[in-house]
Amino acid sequence: MIKVGIVGGTGYTGIELIRLLHAHPQVEITAITSRSEEGRSLSELVPSFFALSDLKFQKPSVEVLSECELIFFATPNGTAMKMAAQLLEAGKRVIDLAADFRIKDIDTWQQWYGETHACPDLVAEAVYGLPELNRAEIKKARLIANPGCYPTSVILGFLPLLENQLVDPKRLIADTKSGVSGAGRGASVGALHSEVSENFKAYGIGGHRHLPEISAILSSVLPAEQAQLTFVPHLLPINRGIHATLYAFANNDVNDLTALYRERYADEAFVSILDAGMHPETRAVRATNHCVISVNRVSKEQIVVLSVIDNLVKGAAGQAIQNMNIMYDIPESLGIEAIGLLP
């Protein structure tokens, strides 16, 4: 059994991690931590976890977490970097679900996240945990930077086009929409039911923190050029789900793009490619680790890709577990095989 600890078990991502890991046949949750809820039982805070009443929140410390083999950080940005070095020195493995290790350029990270990085020396070592791109590196890693939710949907959608140099990398557009859970569980006016219900709006047009992450990963698969991306996120009046509508401009006459995508993701358990003209829906992936994509050539020049995921699963907790499975050389889909909920 893999003994795991979860730092930050009170937010939506942490709760989703606990839900999925509890059902994982090769995992034992040995520690959950929260500074604000220290001493309270998990079931007291999250009634759906009535079967886990013996788990109690502890104050996060290296001593507590050293009893684990693998530690997940489901915490705000800037938390994991303050503890990662000590845990790695103690021989532990770390998966950070926040952004502390996603961006390799430290100056860029500090510019977008507004603080000094606590352990820049570890950023170079961290592996970007997108299995469909970095599986071999993930297998050997001791520090994983779990991708963001928007980046997962956008990168998987654009990847086959850029890897095959089929589109202009300087004219990429990502029109993305996320459910409210993407904003986290903290109380805020913008997430109130009366603010979100029957409403739809864009945000972060001047610059969203996921933009440099997406741009860097897309650029990494190009031979020389840097990807240039217009990225506009929107808030949907739903709890879960991300829908990314991606626009690219073709530089060749390849017509059967669906076949190209199916070949690229043929061995990927969690990426499904629909027939051209079909429209993936967020409810099809609700509470699953799947990404569903359709790719459409709408004119000689323009390609439109539709990509949907559950932001809390493939966009966070499920992908983190997928990375864990790879790291420990166990079946990659173990514990995250569920199909979508309906209704």
Mind spelling out the 3-state secondary structure of the chain?
Answer: CEEEEEECCCCHHHHHHHHHHHCCCCEEEEEEECCCCCCCEHHHHCHHHHHHCCCEEECCCHHHHCCCCEEEECCCCCCHHHCHHHHHHCCCEEEECCCCCCCCCHHHHHHHHCCCCCCHHHHCCCEECCHHHHHHHHHHCCEEECCCHHHHHHHHHHHHHHHCCCECCCCEEEEEEECHHHHCCCCCHHHCHHHHCCCCEECCCCCCCHHHHHHHHHHHCCCCCCCCEEEEEEECCCCCCEEEEEEEEECCCCCCHHHHHHHHCCCCCCEEECCCCCCCCHHHHCCCCCEEEEEEECCCCEEEEEEEECCCCCCCHHHHHHHHHHHCCCCCCCCCCCCCCCC
149 is catalytic: yes
List 68, 119, 149, 291, catalytic entry: 149
Catalytically active residues, by annotation? 149
